[in-house]
Amino acid sequence: MKHMKLKVLSFLVLFIMIGPSLHVTTLNSNAATLKSLGSGVMLQSFYWDVPLDWYTQVTPKLSEISAAGFDNIWLPPPSKTMNGRYSMGYDPYDYYDLGEYNQKGSIPTRFGTKQDLLTLISTAKSYGLHVTADIVMNHNSGGQSEWNPNTNSYTYTDFSGVASGKFLRGYNDFHPSTYEAYDEGTFGGFPDLAHANPYVRSQFLDWGLWLRDTIGFTDWRFDYVKGYHSWMVKDWMNTVGGYGVGEYWDTNKATLQNWLSGAGWTASVFDFPLYYALRDMSEGNGYYNMADLATAGLISTNPLNTATFVANHDTNEIFTMKEMAYAFILLSEGYPTVFWRDYFDWGFKSAINNLISLRQGYAGGTTSTLYSDGDLYIMQRNGYGSQPGLILMMNDGNTWKGEWVHTKWTDQLLTDGTGRANSEWVDSNGWVEIWAPPQSYTVWIPS
């Protein structure tokens, strides 16, 4: 009897594990008209020092972006900053000025006017795309100097003059506050917000609802979550909903799991451990141990709460074998992010389009490692629903390599979805010999 119950329970757990592709809190009513999040992949739709009025360059590409299979575009922090048009948005000054008020040198932000942003968002939604806002809650910049009795000194913590007239801040809204002297971390020398002050917490939640209901953002990327309490993200997700992903720049998987737990598993986190493993592969000139890929990332343990990437606006170190790195994240579990420059500027568009198509058509279900050694990593997606599964074979060695693997199929012709290798038959016992070129990959699908 007890045994039976356990079996039923483990079946339910399995179903929950492979059913949804990622964790989304469904409070947002307008998400219903958009693509199901996770049915495609996310596009980081900016890079460091993008041209001025960037919004107006993104909008004309949204049709193409949606058609390629993306389901979500991640935009830079929208608020007016201390450095105005010179800033990439990570030094927020007036949270409610999205390019509407003449302050800090201009009406628009670096990325354009509020109207440019609204046009971008409504166009994106017309193509079914989610729109992710970059949320900077750890620090501010650009306040006036004021006498601060908490520090017995002058501090740049007077944000009472913001032109929007909303979310005014003063010294006690920052650390050291009478509510809390300090939190998890500070960023540069910027005034560091005290979320333990109930005013700060509630103002952020109000701002989140305004971004959602008035501006139209659907999802959230949380900047520098290492710098503040994870409960702030949990409160945001439980109040505002959608999909949230934290930037916790750390390679320790247990540390990332602790953060996810602190955020009540309401959000995901970027897979920095996997990023650095793929960087090591790229820089290894064949000496990277490919067998390590099976467990290198947080996706190997927490795929529903993991967003993967191979480059972003802060870090771009993977050059050799970059397409293979994309193959790994785009065909694995987790929610992959493609970097704008890789897609539009640096020549990976057709390869990424093919990989997204293979992901959507085949890459369902759990993951099994079929074979691994120093130069080969071969994994099978086991299939789910209408997605029959596939096999990804990665080779960081300097010669063509073949390997016999035991697959989920029998008496089945497998073709290489990249067109690099000849088709191969799986025998009646499930075995097949598959091949991959040097420092490259193949993708085996039933045909």
Residues sharing a CB contact under 8 Å with residue 445, sequence separation 6 or more, in sequence order: 358, 361, 362, 388, 390, 391, 414, 415, 417
CB 337 within 8 A of CB 70: no
3-state DSSP assignment of residue 344: helix
Please name the amino acid found at residue 444: W
Site string for Ca ion, 121-160 (x = CB under 5 A): -----------------x----------------------
138 versus 268: smaller Cβ distance to Ca ion: 138
| Binding of residue 192 to Ca ion (CB under 5 A) | yes
Q: Are 204 and 116 in contact (CB under 8 A)?
A: no
Please report whether residue 173 would count as binding Ca ion according to CB under 5 A. no
Contacts of Ca ion in 55-114 (CB under 5 A)? none
Rule CB under 5 A: choose which of 170, 176, 262, 374 binds Ca ion.
374
d(CA 79, CA 207) in angstroms, rounded, equals: 11
User: Rounded to whole angstroms, how far apart are CA atoms 139 and 409?
Assistant: 53
E strand or H helix at 14, and its extent?
Answer: helix 2-18
Q: Nearer to Ca ion by C-beta: 207 or 228? A: 228
Structure tokens at 424: 């191969």
Please say which residue, 407 or 440, places its beta carbon nearer to Ca ion: 440
Q: Which stretch binds Ca ion (CB under 5 A): 186-194, 248-256, 298-306, 352-360?
A: 186-194
Spatial separation of the C-alpha atoms in residues 33 and 429, rounded to whole Å: 45
Residue 267 near residue 299, CB atoms below 8 Å: no
Closer of 264 and 374 to Ca ion (Cβ) = 374
Subset of 378-417 contacting Ca ion (CB under 5 A): 396
Q: Which residue has the closest beta carbon to Ca ion?
A: 227
Determine which residue in the list 183, 219, 271, 403 makes contact with Ca ion, applying CB under 5 A: 183
For residues 82 and 426, which CB has a smaller minimum distance to Ca ion in the complex? 82
Binding test (CB under 5 A) with Ca ion, winner from 91, 97, 342, 375? 375
Minimal distance in Å, beta carbon 223 to Ca ion? 11
Q: Which residue's CB is nearer to Ca ion, number 278 or number 358?
A: 278
Give the C-alpha distances (Å, rounded to integers) separating 348 from 40, 276, 329. 17, 20, 14
Decide: is 372 part of the binding site for Ca ion (CB under 5 A): no
Q: Give me the least distance between CB of 96 and Ca ion, in Å please.
A: 21
Q: Least Å distance between CB 389 and Ca ion?
A: 26
Task: Give 136 or 443: the residue with its C-beta nearer to Ca ion.
Answer: 136
Q: Are the C-beta atoms of residues 200 and 171 closer than 8 Å to each other?
A: no
Which position among 38, 99, 227, 244 is part of the footprint of Ca ion (CB under 5 A)? 227
**Minimum distance between the CB of residue 195 and Ca ion, rounded to whole angstroms?**
8
CA torsion 360-365-369-375 (nearest 10°) is: 10
Q: How far apart are CA 376 and CA 292, in angstroms?
A: 10
| Region near Ca ion per CB under 5 A, out of 23-31, 84-92, 98-106, 287-295 | 287-295
Using alpha carbons, list the distances in angstroms from residue 147 to 22, 82, 171, 173, 193: 47, 20, 8, 14, 17
Question: Looking at beta carbons only, is 124 or 376 nearer to Ca ion?
Answer: 376
DSSP state of 319: -
By CB under 5 A, residue 228 contacts Ca ion: yes
Using the rule CB under 5 A, give the single segment among 24-32, 78-86, 304-312, 366-374 that binds Ca ion. Answer: 366-374
The CB-of-158 to Ca ion minimum distance in angstroms stands at 19
Minimum CB separation of residue 56 from Ca ion in Å reads 34
Task: Assign 3-class secondary structure to 24-90.
Answer: CECCCHHHHHCCCCCCCEEEECCCCCCCCCCHHHHHHHHHHHHHCCEEEEECCCCCEECCHHHCCCC
Burial (CB count within 10 angstroms: exposed 0-12, middle 13-18, buried 19+), residue 152: exposed
Binding residues for Ca ion, rule CB under 5 A, total 10
Q: Which is nearer to Ca ion, 227 or 336 (CB)?
A: 227
Q: Contact positions toward Ca ion, by CB under 5 A?
A: 138, 183, 192, 227-228, 286, 288, 374-375, 396
